[in-house]
């Protein structure tokens, strides 16, 4: 039996997904630079949101983690290590490591705060003086992807916790005066259907990017999507094998972009133009400016460039700004169209 068939559950190949370019680009850029801040995907039911998110996680290369560590700690990057691993390193204790697939964690809608953050065993702490921690989903998602389907239906309190952890890279659990913290850096991906309600603007603003997807109307493209899905359902391993070369090419492209990222330059002139666009659109705060700069650098790295140019900014700026505009109930213009109009004027 070959390696492909040893997989416990076959995953639809990312490169086999037809259409939905905006969603795919947003996911790839967040994987290249997780500090972009995640992506909110809003669209109709049955448009392949969950399939695409699982596919990008499956595409990514394995990561090296410290064995017997609950938090997928990195072996050399202090920002991605738990405190116990740091202590072991400081005491010159040799760390054993292992390779794992990039974590892909689903947050169920009915999850409790304890399930998300983890719990401290108070009884053990008081009786034995030992901090005993049962990790939650934020620990399991460290250095991976945390996916929340129908995030617009999730309890606002949990959304706040998620966004705070995603922004700080740490999760802190406190109970009865006992505190435990651990690294929790992940790509936060939320999806939802606009018909089921919008996120509060102040929460929506915390997502780095916002991709809108619509049901494909073109008949020939719909047939192509159905045929591709049928082919996978009939023989998933043959489909995975068929796209293995494209998958490997994309994987190499992402790895190359990650290594290039730190050296990508964005000219001061372009930074001013980005901020000018944010100003004209009345975008509150500076998060829009920061995310657009990051995303443009990630896209330039993805294109194997050394410097960001106007075309890179144009490609990503709508994804970064459309959800940050103030909503006017009487406005008939789509927010994405409004961003494009201003971009065309400023970056003419």
Condensed to tens digits (0 to 9), the pLDDT of residues 195-225 reads: 777 777 767 778 899 998 877 777 888 888 8
Q: Is residue 253 part of a domain?
A: no
Condensed to tens digits (0 to 9), the pLDDT of residues 87-121 reads: 888 888 888 888 888 888 988 888 888 889 888 77
pLDDT higher than 80, residue 124? no
Q: Are residues 146 and 39 in the same domain?
A: yes
pLDDT (0 to 100) of residue 164: 83
Domain holding 170, by residue range, is 4-62+101-213
Hey, what's the torsion of the CAs at 343, 221, 10, 27, to 10 degrees? 0
Last residue within a domain, chosen from 177, 192, 213: 213
Condensed to tens digits (0 to 9), the pLDDT of residues 51-65 reads: 888 899 888 888 888
* Nearest CA-CA partner of 78 in 67, 70, 89: 89
Cα separation, 193 vs 42, in Å, equals 6
Contacts of 169 (CB under 8 A, 6+ apart): 79, 183, 184, 185
Tell me the DSSP string of 205-219.
TTSSEEEEE-----H
Pick the range with the lowest mean pLDDT from 22-31, 202-211, 262-271: 202-211
Catalytic residues: 287
pLDDT (0 to 100) of residue 125: 58
Condensed to tens digits (0 to 9), the pLDDT of residues 233-256 reads: 888 898 889 999 999 999 999 999
pLDDT higher than 50, residue 333? no
Residue 113: count of CB within 10 angstroms of its CB? 14
Q: Are residues 27 and 152 in the same domain?
A: yes
* Nearest CA-CA partner of 257 in 30, 55, 50, 16: 30
Tokens of 247: 């998958």
Q: Are residues 42 and 174 in the same domain?
A: yes
Q: When comparing pLDDT for 221 and 6, which is higher?
A: 221
- Write down the residue that tokens 């790839």 correspond to: 28
Q: Are residues 199 and 272 in the same domain?
A: no
Q: Is residue 290 part of a domain?
A: yes
Read off the pLDDT of each residue in 297-311 and give the average, rounded to a whole number.
94
Q: Are residues 42 and 186 in the same domain?
A: yes
Domain containing residue 44: CATH number = 3.40.50.300
Q: Are residues 205 and 280 in the same domain?
A: no
Read off the pLDDT of each residue in 328-339 and give the average, rounded to a whole number.
63
Q: Are residues 286 and 202 in the same domain?
A: no
């Amino acid at each position: 039996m070959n390696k492909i068939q040893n997989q416990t559950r076959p995953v639809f190949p990312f490169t086999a997904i037809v259409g939905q370019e905006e969603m795919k680009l947003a996911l790839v850029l967040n994987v290249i630079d997780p500090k972009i801040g995640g992506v909110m995907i809003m669209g109709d039911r049955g448009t392949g949101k969950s399939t695409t998110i699982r596919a990008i996680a499956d595409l990514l290369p394995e990561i090296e983690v410290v064995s017997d560590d609950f938090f997928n700690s990195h072996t050399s990057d202090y920002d991605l290590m738990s405190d116990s691993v740091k202590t072991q390193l400081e005491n010159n204790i040799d760390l054993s490591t292992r390779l794992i697939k990039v974590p892909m964690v689903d947050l169920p809608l009915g999850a409790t705060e304890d399930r998300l953050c983890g719990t401290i065993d108070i009884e053990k702490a008081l009786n034995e003086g030992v901090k005993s921690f049962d990790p939650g989903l934020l620990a399991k998602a460290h250095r991976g992807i945390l996916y929340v389907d129908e995030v617009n239906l999730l309890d606002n309190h949990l959304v706040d916790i998620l966004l705070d952890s995603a922004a700080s890279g740490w999760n802190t659990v406190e109970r009865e005066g006992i505190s435990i913290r651990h690294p929790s850096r992940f790509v936060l991906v939320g999806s939802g259907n606009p018909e089921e309600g919008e996120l509060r603007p102040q929460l929506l603003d915390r997502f780095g990017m916002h991709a809108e997807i619509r049901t494909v109307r073109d008949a020939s493209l719909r047939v192509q999507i159905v045929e591709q899905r049928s082919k996978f359902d009939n023989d998933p391993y043959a489909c995975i094998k068929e796209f293995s070369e494209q998958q490997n090419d994309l994987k190499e492209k992402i790895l190359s972009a990650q290594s290039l990222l730190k050296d990508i330059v964005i000219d001061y002139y372009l930074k001013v133009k980005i901020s000018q666009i944010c100003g004209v659109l009345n975008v509150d705060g500076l998060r829009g400016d920061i995310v657009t700069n990051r995303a443009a650098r990630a896209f330039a790295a993805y294109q194997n460039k050394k410097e960001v140019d106007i075309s890179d900014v144009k490609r990503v700026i709508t994804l970064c700004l459309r959800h940050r505009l103030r909503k006017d109930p009487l406005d008939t213009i789509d927010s994405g169209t409004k961003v494009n109009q201003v971009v065309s004027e400023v970056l003419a």
